[in-house]
Amino acid sequence: MPKRVQVIGAHSADFVWRAGGAVAKAVSLGGQAEVIALSYGERGESGELWKQPGQRVENVKKIRHAEAEAAAAHLGASFTCLDLGDYPLQIDGDRLLEIAEAIRAFAPDVLITHTATDPFNPDHPIAHGAVDRARSLAAGAGVTSAFDTIKPPQLFLFEPHQPELCSFTPTVHVDITSVWEQKLAAMGEMKAQQYLQTYYAQRGEHRGNHARRASGRSEVKYGESFMRVLPQVVGEL
């Protein structure tokens, strides 16, 4: 069945590197996808832009928005930034409710965000905590509530830059071979972080290799890996 996939990242480029293939794959199968960035990563994630003399924060945000919007278009997804600021990203009560409302409005089948641990990026764990809590607020406790609720979306964590240091164990490999060129095109839009394009192209090949070994499917060439948070409910094993 076509699925509604929502990716919420701390910064405007996070979705491209870590879940761009899964987003494009869902859309190619008839689903819908929405990308939400909590910030543009304008202060700590825009290295190439800050090399330009006289650079300003508002100009960096403008450039980052255009990059992310173009990248999302390659994948068939919409892009929105809540512009909450980065380094540090801080989520108060009002902002938490804003994230919960975004989840409630889109009502995703699948929700994807960061791991709870990342010793090298202070914003990623904050994003995880906010999205995880907002998801629970949007879905309620599984009973009739004083507010509108949605069916609980499945929660997945995308692969961090250094998974072995972030308590990340892949439990799902997604075959993104058929949409690999779309992911490459999306990554190519992120010129403020060109240094990551080679790394994540190589990671796609690595995870494709792991997916082949796990499945025996020789046709899988590229993959993305995710960690399932909630149990999968099935009628049989």
Would you give per-residue pLDDT tens digits along the chain (237 residues)?
899 999 999 999 999 999 999 999 999 999 999 999 999 999 999 999 999 999 999 999 999 999 999 999 999 999 999 999 999 999 999 999 999 999 999 999 999 999 999 999 999 999 999 999 999 999 987 677 777 899 999 999 999 999 999 999 999 999 999 999 999 999 999 998 988 999 999 999 999 999 999 999 999 999 999 999 999 999 999
How far, in Å, CA of 64 to CA of 48, rounded?
Answer: 11
How far, in Å, CA of 26 to CA of 22, rounded?
Answer: 6
All structural domains of the chain: 4-228 (3.40.50.10320)
Whether this model's pTM surpasses 0.85: yes
Q: How far is CA 198 from CA 88, 135, 140, 188, 201, in A?
A: 27, 33, 41, 10, 5
